[in-house]
């Protein structure tokens, strides 16, 4: 199980130091949420900030994981590839041709991720998941941090796990939204490989929170 601290909940005035705290404490991937004000209402950050975070991921041996909540994400891939992203994840709802976009990401030498909103039928992702290295299950409506985990997400994770087990490939299941120490075990048991955690990491001590969530995900009482 891998933990991906989401910088959306970090203190942007000291972004590098705050992200470093979470990665040094055992964060495995650094999750960067890109919002464009169209696909979701808010605007966050773009490739320039991802590029500034690249050396931190290199130094800590972690993965720079970019989640594009943007319309027509194919137009952004070159920028994030140049910024040094390791994984670029796009929304199935935002792509004109999701399989082609995933192939484009892979053609840049990166891992390609596909994701979907909680109300989008899972079949939309299953249709293209063979082109993806990561399948991200959104467990909140994308657009902001600090929301509650939508309970029916667990069944979607289970269904996806079952599908991937029946159609062997190396696709990782990532889960994003409302993940906390109290539900991490259930989510991993359902089949998640990577847990994205924003507010539950960056509110309070990031180092302590990372340790507590990892322990909880593994079923260790801490
Ligand atoms: C939501 C983002 C998430 C968010 C998760 O649109 O994709 O990555 O940061 O934050 P929490 O863990 O607070 O739900
Ligand atoms: Zn995200």
Which tens digit of pLDDT belongs to each residue from 143-180?
Answer: 999 999 999 999 999 999 999 999 988 999 999 999 99
pLDDT in tens, 104-151: 999 999 999 999 999 999 999 999 999 999 999 999 999 999 999 999
Q: How confident is the model at residue 221 (pLDDT cuts 50, 70, 90)?
A: low
- Please report, for residues 74, 153, 154, 173, 221, the alpha-carbon distance to residue 165 in angstroms, rounded to integers and kept in the order given: 29, 18, 16, 11, 29
Say what angle helices 15-24 and 47-60 make with each other, to 10 degrees: 30
Q: Whose CA is nearest to atom 6 of ligand 1?
A: 142
Q: Please tell me which residue in 33, 36, 65, 133 is annotated as part of the active site.
A: 33
36 catalytic? Reply is: no
| Cα of 116 from ligand 1 centre, angstroms | 14
Q: Is the dihedral of CA 116, 174, 32, 95 positive or negative?
A: negative
Question: Distance from the CA of 25 to the center of ligand 1, in angstroms?
Answer: 19
CB of 174 sitting under 6 A from ligand 1: no
Q: Is the CB of 113 under 6 A from ligand 1?
A: no
């Amino acid at each position: 199980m891998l933990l991906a601290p989401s910088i959306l909940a970090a203190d942007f005035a000291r972004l590098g130091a705050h992200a470093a705290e979470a990665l040094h404490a055992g964060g495995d991937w650094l999750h960067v949420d890109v919002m464009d004000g169209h696909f979701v209402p808010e605007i966050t950050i773009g490739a320039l900030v991802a590029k500034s975070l690249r050396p931190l991921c290199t130094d800590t041996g972690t993965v720079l994981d970019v989640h594009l909540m943007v319309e027509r994400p194919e137009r952004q891939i070159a920028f994030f590839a140049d910024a040094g992203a390791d994984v670029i994840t796009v929304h199935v709802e935002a792509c004109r041709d999701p399989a082609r976009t995933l192939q484009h990401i892979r053609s840049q030498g990166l891992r390609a991720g596909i994701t979907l909103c909680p109300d989008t039928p899972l079949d939309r992702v299953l249709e293209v998941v063979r082109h993806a290295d990561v399948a991200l299950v959104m467990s909140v409506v994308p657009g902001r941090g600090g929301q509650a985990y939508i309970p029916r997400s667990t069944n979607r994770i289970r269904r996806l796990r079952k599908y991937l087990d029946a159609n062997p490939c190396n696709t990782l299941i990532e889960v994003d939204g409302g993940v906390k120490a109290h539900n991490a075990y259930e989510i991993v048991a359902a089949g998640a490989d990577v847990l994205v955690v924003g507010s539950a990491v960056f509110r309070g001590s990031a180092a302590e929170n990372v340790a507590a969530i990892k322990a909880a995900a593994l079923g260790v009482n801490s």
